[in-house]
Structure 1
Amino acid sequence: MSRAEAAGDMAGIRCKLSGKYDAGAEADVISWFKMLLGLELEPGMKEMEKQLKDGQHLVKLAKEVLRRTANAPERAKKMVLKANTLTAPFKQMENIQTFINFCSNYGVPKTGLFQTVDLYEGRNMPQVLNCLQQLGSEAQRHNMDGPTIGPKPTEKNIREFTEEQLKAGQSIIGLQAGTNKLASQSGMTMGGVRHVSDIKVDDMTREGHGVIGLQAGTNKLASQAGMSFGAVRHVADIRADDMSKEGQGVIGLQAGSNKGASQTGMSMGSVRHVADIRADDLQKDGQAFIGLQAGTNKLASQAGMTFGGVRHAADIRADDMSKDSHAVIGLQAGSNKGATQAGMKIGSVRHVADIRADDMNKEGQGVIGLQAGTNKLASQSGMTFGGVRHAADIRADDIDRAGQGVINLQYGTTDGANQSGMSFGSRRIIS
């Protein structure tokens, strides 16, 4: 049963292989068969396939080549070369395989051999011709007595180099680095930079050192009018015709606008306030006064206070207080029951409440939180330069220096308080 005809991709591959069929190689093979066996073969790819398909002519050719080669390889000499004359397909393919085995044992490389179906089914006739030519090349290598075909075989060409010759090659730049053949150094200055590729700079002069190449863009139609010598070069050409020294102290609109704002009453070197607050009657005499925002010390008494004692948040009796309780946190400070120190680092600041601050960074230290309020819609009108910033505008007309040593009622009162049992210099407990 014959194989089905090639179709689809197989048909395309067979057409490509057929396109490699060389008529010159075919002529060499036909002439070799004629000179060695006296056999006349018809030219043409299909004709060659039909005449060599049974393998008998190939076995006869191998037998003749082996007979004419005195120093043939031992593996080839041991082969029994006898063509099978039966017409059965498997017998014909056996003849083809016998010829392939002979070529391999004779010295033909594996890349030069062909498959049995390449000849029997005509799949790759160019490879069949190539194998016959390489068999001729190996016959030349083994000094066969008679005509041969194919290219001359490659032979060893051993060269010996002295130590001086080997070292001389270390100063030669290989072709991988390119070549300077036909390159000219015309116009090159001594000490110039070596380029990746040889570039002619015949017409280069010093006048061109100040020219910006087109790779850096172009300054065509650009104007330097109004630019001062030594000024910074901008990314784009910007006209600055009207720029003068007088404008260096002006704040641009990008920084906001001070239109409508008044500097009346501001003193030189004073601190800039968060919001503009009027303080028309502020004088140096009042800088040591405590404003009403801090409460009042009217009617407050210092009775019972010791010199140097710590001021407490509230007057609390501590008659039975002892040192054992110094390490106890009162309930006014809350409770740490159920609190965990997980994630806290040694030496870190103690918070009023346990707050995780894993992602805290330095960038946030300069930000004023909303707890500090906002200065939106605030006015600086009437503020003096260098004045102290108050929480709110409160008149403090009646404040005098006599009350500086008086504790105001915002801190509580000591009336009815007793310091009995307190030791001098001891620490004041909140609770």
Structure 2
Amino acid sequence: MSRAESAGDQVAIRGKIAARYDSDVEREVLGWFKQLLNLDIPAGMNNVQRALHSGVDLVKLALEVQKRVQNCPPAAKKMRLKPNTLSAPFKQMENIQVFLNFCEKMGMSKTSLFQTVDLYEGRNMAQFLTAVQQLGSECQRYGFDGPVIGSRPTEKNIREFTEEQLKAGNAIIGLQAGTNKCASQSGMAMGGVRHIADIKADDLCREGTGVIGLQSGSNKGASQSGMSMGAVRHVSDIRADEMDKDGQGVIGLQAGSNKGASQAGMSMGAVRHVSDIRADEMDKDGQGVIGLQAGSNKGASQSGMAMGSVRHVSDIRADDMSKDGQGVIGLQAGSNKGASQSGMSMGSVRHVSDIKSGQGSAEGQAIIGLQAGSNKGATQSGMSMGANRMVSDIKTGKMDQSSHGVTSLQYGSTDGASQSGMSFGGARNISQK
């Protein structure tokens, strides 16, 4: 009983399978049958299917391969290959199956074979041609002494490396890192990054060494006029007009106003407040009064107190010092055993542990260090003894001669006061004790 005709999707599927049929592979397979069996098969997919669908010629092909293979696999060599010439369909399909079994025992994988119906009913003739061609490749593996078809079979190529050969590969740069063939370190800075693909930079033109790139801005129409040494250069200049000469003697509003003010009564170096601190003259009647902040001196005397010492609200009692201890220096002051005042200036601080400093070189005593700035082109004109030397001078006008005899308000008032009972250099308090 014949199968029903294909319909629907089966027609499209059979069309795609038939499109895989290769005439070149057909020519090669039919030529192999001609050389081994002297069998002439007309070209064409339908002609090949009708000539070989009985399986008789396939069994004959397998028998010829079995005879000519020198190192035939034992399983394939033991097979009894005899074609069945009956015309019954199942007998013809048995012949096809015998051929498939022989191909499998020759080492072909099942994925390289075809189904019985692919040849008997012509369902996949392309796969049939591929299987016969693959059998020709397997024959070459076992030493076939006749003509062969198909590609040369792959062989195992086992390589064994010694330990020294394996370690030699540690000094080879892999292809993933690129190649350094025909490369040098010419023009590369110390520590520069090595790119896998070199970035080519042509030699810098000498004319361009004096050109500032656009990334750095433009200096067209710009100069260094008015810029101090080491100042930052902005890409876009900050314009500052020259100061008007008339405004050089004007104090800005940020510094307050000195209208109606004078330096009368101010000592050299005293702080000038934006808003003056007003202190009225002290009442003469109150000059002999001690404020409550100073405590009370009722029933107290100045016995045993040094000139200029602080008067506490509650007296701190100190017994008379023993005459024997007046020549002793307390432990709090450290010890001066084995010490002298050699090399110490008047009024300098005495440290518990002396700070040793070597004698200064005679040549360096006349040198002013860089930390002190430079006095080139400068004079001490107008500077008082012991005043600080500024890097940039602060200009002050001459003091009004009429104010030389005036004591500033910060020092208090001397009205009704005298120096009676005061030692030379003692502090003068605003409120008397």
TM-score by length of 1: 0.45
Highest CA radius of gyration, 1 or 2? Answer: 2
TM-score by length of 2: 0.45
Which of structures 1 and 2 has the larger relative contact order (alpha carbons within 8 angstroms, sep 6+)?
A: 1
